[in-house]
Amino acid sequence: MLNSILLDGLALAGAGIGAGVAALAAGLGIGRIGSSAVESIARQPSESGKIQTAMLIAAALIEGVALFGVVVCLLIALA
């Protein structure tokens, strides 16, 4: 009984921290890309289409892993 409860506590704590760190990944990564993208558009407004495409590709790659990580933590939390 005690043990079962300890299991749940550790697992839930890890899931919560993991979900936060995965979100941090998206914040740091996409934040840096978006910051550079808006500055690049200001420097070369005529290339805003290409710049936005490259921004979206890189941001989508980060978004995919980060969301996958949060979903894994959600599965741990619901298990």
Q: Interaction with its own copies in 3-32: which residues (CB under 8 A)?
A: 3-32
CB of 49 to its own copies, least distance (A): 9
**Total interface residues for its own copies by CB under 8 A:** 77
Report in angstroms how near the CB of residue 50 gets to its own copies at its nearest: 5
Backbone angles phi, psi at 44, to 5 degrees: -130, 75
Quick check: helix, strand or coil at residue 52?
Answer: helix
Residues 32-51 interacting with its own copies (rule: CB under 8 A): 32-48, 50-51
Four-residue CA torsion sign, 7, 74, 15, 9: negative
Per-residue tokens: 70: 């949060």
